[in-house]
Structures are given as C-alpha cells and as structure tokens.
C-alpha cells in the first residue's frame, strides 16, 4: 500500500526520521518497503503489509502506531470537535434492521442535517491524490480520508432518498447500479444495504446510485459497519469487483473500530461541510468483542527468544505497542490485555514474537541449541526395502508405482473371484473398483502400454496387496518383478530365475531352491501360466514366492506381443530371512577350467534335476554350473540343455586328467537316468 510521509507526520508533533531512515526502521522491524518515490514536497512509501497485519496496518493509524513503537516518538491523534444538536434525534429520522447478525456483527449510523456539498479543502484533496484516490466532493472525500486514516470503510447516503435501512441478503434477480454506473446482478449469497424495496449498496464493497450524494443533498446518513470477511470475499469474487473497502473487509476488521471512525468522520464533516449532527447514534452490536487477555510466562518468553530480556524491557515493549499489562506475578508471569484491533495476537507465542520483533532480531545472538540428538531407531522394513530396490536397480530394473486398485475385468482375466475381493465404497472410476489382490495385473498393464516404445522391459514394484477376511481387510506386502522382450528369447524364464538368485544371494538368504509348482484347482482351470515354465521358490520347506512365464494364450488375451516372465515374492518372508552379515571366502589364486556339456532329455524334464546330478557327481571341485542354452526344436518329445561347468581347487591347479575324470563321472551319472543322453 502507498503511504504518504507527510500524512504519517500528521500523527506526530515531533519530527519523524527522514523518509529513507524511516523506511530502514520499518524494514528492520519486519515490514517490507518495496520502493520510495518523491512527489513534490512529499515522499511516498510503498509498504508491503502482510495479511496477518491487515486489520490494523491497512491504515495510516496502524503504521503510525508502528512508527511510534520503533522510534519512541509519542503518537498524537488529531481530535475533531463533534457538536450534536439535542433537538434532533436520530431515532426520529431513520430506522435500521440487521437480518443476519453473524454476517453483520455491528452496524453503526449517524445523521447530519444541513450540510453543504462542495469541493474538498486543498489539503484533503492532496492527501487523497497522494494515496491514489480521485477527489469527488467534500462528503465522499471525507469518508475516503477517514477510511485511509483508520482502516474502517465508511459510506454516506442521501437520507432524503431513502425511508429506512435493512441489512439483508439479496433476492435472486435483484439488480443494482453502482456509483460508477455499472450494473450488477445479485443473488442470495450477496449481502446488501437496502431500503424497503431497492438495494442501496453492496455491503462492504460498493455503493449504489440510488442514494448517491450530489450537489442538492442536504441531509446525510453516515454508515460504519463490520461484515464477515468470508462473505465479503466470496461476493467480491463472484461479482469480480475489488474495491478499497472490500480489500479491508476481506482481511477482517475490529468491530470496535466502527464507532471511533464514525465519530471522526462526523467531526471532520462538520468542520468542512457544516451541518448539525443528530443526537445519538444507531448502534446495533448484539455481541460485543472484548479485548483478549493472555498470560505470558516470562521464563518461557526468554527461553523461546533465546536471551534474557528483563521484565522491565518486556513491559516497555508491550506498552509501546499499546498492550496493557493488567497484572504482574513477581517476575514469573504477566497478564496482558491485547487491543481488539490486533486480530493477529491471540497466543502467548504471538506476544513473544512482538517482543522479539521490537527488541530487534539483530540483537539476538545465534546460539547453538543445547540438546541431545538421539538417532532414530532403525526402521527394518525401510532398510530392507531400500536394499532390495538397490539390488534390482543395479540389475537393470526400473521401479513402477501403480495404484492399488483393479477393475472387475482385470480380476476376471486373472481368475480372481470378485466375491472374495475387497471392494472400494466410492471408487474414482470403474478401473479402481477393487483393492488389488496381486501386483501382477497392473505390472502386465505397464508392459502392454510400454512395448510400443521399448524392445525390452524390466520393471518391479514393491507394494501392498489386499484380501478379504471375516473380520476385516488383510494387507500383505509383495515384491513383484517382470521382464519382457520382443522376439524369440527362450531363456527368458531362466534369466529371471538368475535375477531372483542374485537378489536372494545379495540379501544373504541361503537354502533357496525351486520346487515343482503344484497348481490349485482354480489355477488348473486358468491359462495364465506356462505349463512347463513355472516354479515355487522356497527357503527350506517354506514357500516364499513364485516364478513363472506367462502363457502365450493369456498374453494374447492381454494383447501383449512379447514373452513375459514374472517372480512374485513375499516381502515379509524376505525380511525375516535376510542377513546383513556375509561369509568371506578368499578368491582362489589357482586358475579355473571350464567345460561344456550338452544333454538330450524329455521335454518334461526339469533343469533343476540335471543341475542337482551334476553338482552331486562333480563334488566340491565343481564351483559353478550355468545353463547357457535350451533348445526345444529337436523333436516333439525332446529338448537339448547345454551347461557351462566351472572346475577349480583352492590348493592346486587342476590337471586336464583330473578334470576329464570328473567330467566322465558326471556323464556317467547323467546317463543312468532313462531317456537322458549326453551328446558327445
């Protein structure tokens, strides 16, 4: 807001600091002065008043109070000599009714007869112009001037043009023509000032044309009211009409300000427009706003500010801000009465902020806090979550974040009975009707959407799944990883198995093995999984998850044109089995020897059975066995499996003769199984 330096000076008998010095002081004490501009013999200060101080500092009086507090110069408010004519009684001239006392908490009015409408005095015009307001006539200008001075919007009506005043909600279809000849359509949400039939003004926003002051006006009624800030803000937004009055009402005002401002306006008008003021004042104020009283703990004050401020200094600061110290309990506690115009102060902390602000933040030294920093207890779940994510990220996977919902169609496709699924009461859409029983459906949806842009996709998700129980909905956290690649890649299942092994090994989980999957009756009816490429993942005798390739038939249903393999692991089981400790084994300084072996087996044979026989027959000198090829195009009943076998000893270099002997032992062991043939 723009403030005139000369206007501010009118509140003080002593000379204020020079404009630049005053601006620096305001900045120092928590006001932002955006810019300064010299105009004639005056300086204009653009002060950014924050919304919490709008109730008092959207006015010259509010800023003047701040200037008095920070400079120590005594504030002197000019008094206007209001003289009332005892023979004229206001109750005989006008009646006022307020229908909604929550929206209009106070309505005050005063009448002046025999006024003379003419141009305002030059000093008044200059002050209005410096604040960006256009002078109109002495009546309107005086109302605007007192609004700038006190922060209380005021309005004047030609009393001869109205019969009575009612503060009420507008009726839908009502219209009003404003003082600037703009027409506005009103409805029930907009508060108006009206006479018996027609709107006179949009309450708190803009006056109407029907009771406008003009050169023929002789008797006026002055209005000062307090309106609900939310109502004014909503009406202003709806009408797309912003005014100086609405700006102040929107931030909230002190109801006790109306009488003070109204009497000042009446006194100023008598001074510049003459007239006789009717005795008394209409004041509809059913629920009075009283000053708040706050107990201020002095030890808490010093602790919060961070330094020892004397009680004498605290009381001095409070009094400089026009707060009253009602009582003092030794040096322990003060009872402080807060002026009603300080709507921003309602807690002890608010008072302490004012004390710190006026004491000067620059006078408060920076001190390191004296406290004990206790490291938080480690969150095991979060630790292992992050560990798993890091392992899969290093393996080339990207993490997916999906909503925990499925559509009915998704669940039917995956053979999940809808009756057993938890249903959302108010779903955002049909796609989010059920809580998800598995992370797989949404991950496959991700695959289907992204195959248009990528040839290979590796994604995983760590999230909750849901199931319905007799008592409630049960949650279970799962880790699901999916890989997919366009074109022919028969080892996709084994690639994902390798990823699962990598994950489990890095988590320090041992005794992991893959068992033949025994489908449930429901799974037997579905065509989701490849009949020969699925396995249960176990730790000891406990199943922790599932590994499988999606069947081509089901991929067609989902419109996925690529092979897809999935592993689905119970996160809780992983967390319980995982170990941070790992066993250190030194790398052998003797070279390893690699031999390959290919074996022809029935298509129903499992790779794990072949691996077990190789490891048993090879003994401790077989360090590693890897499947590097699976070829099923030989015949309708046979497939070819090819393995790398790594031989190594810790204490010597193995000779070719030793390796040949072990290799022959493995071949002999493999060929003991009927229909298994090692290819020479």
Q: Spell out the CATH class of 84-284.
A: alpha beta
Q: What is the pLDDT of residues 515-549, one digit of tens each?
A: 877 666 555 556 688 877 888 899 988 899 999 99
CB-based contacts of 221, cutoff 8 Å, min separation 6: 93, 94, 109, 110, 111, 156, 157, 159, 162, 165
| Cα dihedral 9, 11, 14, 20 sign | negative
Q: Which residues contact 240 (CB under 8 A, 6 or more apart)?
A: none
Q: Which residue carries 């842009």 as its tokens? A: 453
CATH architecture of the domain formed by 593-679: 2-Layer Sandwich (3.30)
Alpha carbon 228 to its chain's center:
27
For tokens 């040839």, the residue is: 455
SS3 of 553-615: HHHHHCCCCCEEEEEEEEHHHHHHHCCCCCCCCCCCCCCCEEEEEEEEEECCCCHHHHHHHHH
Domain 380-577 has CATH 3.30.930.10: yes
For residue range 23-62, what is the model confidence (pLDDT) as tens digits? 999 999 989 998 999 988 899 999 999 989 999 999 999 9
| pLDDT-based confidence at residue 186 (cuts at 50, 70, 90) | very high
Tell me: the pLDDT tens digits for 479-519? 999 999 887 566 788 889 989 999 999 998 888 888 877 66
| Average pLDDT estimate for 413-435 | 85
Domain spans, the chain: 2-71, 84-284, 292-363, 380-577, 593-679
Residues 42, 6: contact at Cβ < 8 Å?
yes
Per CATH, is 2-71 categorized as 3.40.50.10490?
A: no
Find all residues with CB under 8 Å of 15, minimum gap 6, and list them: 9
Select the more confidently predicted residue: 222 or 522: 222
- The residue written with tokens 């949009």 in the block is 202
CATH number, span 292-363: 3.30.56.10
Residue of 199, 191, 198 whose CA lies nearest to 235: 191
Residue 399's pLDDT band (cuts 50, 70, 90)? very high
Instruction: Reply yes or no on whether the pLDDT at 629 is more than 90.
Output: no
**Rounded to an integer, what distance in angstroms lies between the CA atom of residue 258 and that of residue 149?**
13
Rg (CA), the chain: 43
Q: What is the Cα–Cα distance from 674 to 611, expressed in whole angstroms?
A: 16
Identical fold at 84-284 and 380-577?
no
The predicted-structure confidence for 352-393, as pLDDT tens digits, reads as follows 999 999 999 888 888 777 778 888 888 989 999 999 999 999
pTM score of the predicted model: 0.61
Mean pLDDT over the full length of the chain: 91
């Amino acid at each position: 807001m723009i403030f005139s330096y000369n206007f501010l000076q009118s509140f003080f008998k002593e000379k204020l600091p020079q404009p630049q010095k005053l601006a620096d002081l305001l900045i120092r004490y928590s006001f932002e002065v955006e810019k300064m501009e010299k105009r004639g013999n005056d300086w204009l200060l653009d002060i950014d008043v924050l919304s919490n101080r709008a109730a008092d500092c959207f006015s010259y009086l509010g800023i003047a109070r701040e200037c008095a507090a920070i400079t120590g110069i005594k504030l002197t408010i000019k008094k206007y000599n209001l003289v009332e004519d005892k023979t004229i009684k206001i109750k005989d001239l006008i009646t006022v009714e307020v229908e909604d006392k929550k929206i209009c908490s106070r309505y005050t009015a005063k009448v002046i007869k025999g006024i003379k409408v003419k141009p305002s005095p030059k000093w008044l015009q200059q002050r209005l112009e410096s604040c960006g307001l256009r002078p109109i006539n002495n009546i309107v200008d005086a109302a605007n001037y007192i609004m700038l001075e006190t922060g209380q919007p005021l309005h004047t009506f030609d009393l001869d043009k109205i019969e009575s005043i009612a503060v009420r909600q507008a009726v839908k279809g009502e219209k009003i023509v404003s003082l600037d000849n703009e027409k506005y359509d009103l409805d029930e949400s907009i508060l108006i000032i009206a006479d018996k039939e027609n709107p006179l003004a949009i309450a708190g926003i803009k006056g109407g044309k029907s009771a406008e002051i003009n050169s023929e006006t002789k008797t006026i009624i002055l209005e000062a009211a307090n309106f609900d800030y939310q109502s004014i803000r909503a009406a202003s937004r709806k009408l797309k009409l912003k005014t100086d009055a609405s700006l102040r009402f929107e931030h909230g005002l002190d109801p006790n300000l109306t009488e003070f401002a109204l009497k000042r306006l009446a006194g100023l008008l008598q001074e510049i427009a003459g007239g006789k003021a009717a005795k008394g004042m209409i004041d509809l104020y059913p629920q009075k706003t009283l000053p708040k009283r706050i107990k201020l703990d002095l030890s808490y004050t010093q602790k919060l500010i961070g330094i020892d401020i004397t009680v004498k200094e605290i009381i001095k600061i409070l009094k400089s801000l026009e707060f009253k110290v009602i009582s003092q309990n030794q040096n322990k506690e003060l009872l402080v009465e807060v002026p009603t115009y300080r709507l921003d102060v309602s807690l002890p902390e608010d008072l302490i902020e004012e004390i710190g602000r006026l004491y000067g933040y620059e006078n408060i030294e920076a001190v390191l806090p004296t406290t004990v920093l206790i490291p938080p207890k480690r969150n095991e779940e979060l630790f292992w979550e992050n560990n798993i994510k890091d392992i899969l990220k290093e393996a080339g996977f990207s993490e997916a974040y999906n909503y925990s919902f499925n559509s009915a169609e998704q669940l039917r496709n995956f053979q999940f009975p809808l009756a057993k699924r938890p249903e959302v009461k108010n779903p955002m859409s049909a796609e989010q009707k059920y809580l998800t029983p598995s992370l797989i459906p949404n991950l496959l949806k991700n695959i289907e959407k992204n195959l248009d842009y990528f040839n290979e996709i590796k994604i995983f998700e760590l999230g909750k799944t849901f199931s319905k129980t007799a008592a409630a909905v049960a949650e279970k956290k799962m880790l699901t990883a999916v890989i997919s690649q366009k074109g022919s890649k028969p080892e996709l299942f084994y690639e994902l198995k390798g990823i699962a092994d990598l994950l489990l090994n890095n988590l320090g989980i041992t005794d992991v093995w893959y068992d033949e999957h025994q489908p449930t009756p429901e799974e037997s009816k579905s065509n989701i999984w490849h009949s020969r490429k699925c396995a249960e993942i176990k730790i000891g005798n406990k199943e922790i998850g599932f590994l499988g390739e999606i069947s081509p038939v089901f991929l067609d249903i989902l419109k996925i044109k690529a092979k897809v393999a999935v592993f689905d692991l119970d996160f809780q089981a992983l967390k319980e089995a995982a170990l941070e400790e790992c066993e250190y084994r030194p790398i052998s300084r003797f070279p390893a020897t690699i031999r390959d072996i290919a074996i022809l087996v029935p298509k129903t044979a499992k790779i794990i059975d072949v691996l077990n026989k190789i490891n048993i027959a090879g003994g401790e000198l077989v360090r590693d066995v890897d499947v590097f090829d699976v070829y099923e195009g030989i015949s309708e009943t046979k497939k070819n499996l090819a393995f790398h076998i790594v031989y190594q000893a810790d204490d010597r270099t193995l000779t070719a003769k030793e390796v040949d002997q072990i290799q022959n032992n493995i071949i002999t062991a493999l060929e003991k199984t009927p229909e298994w043939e090692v290819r020479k």
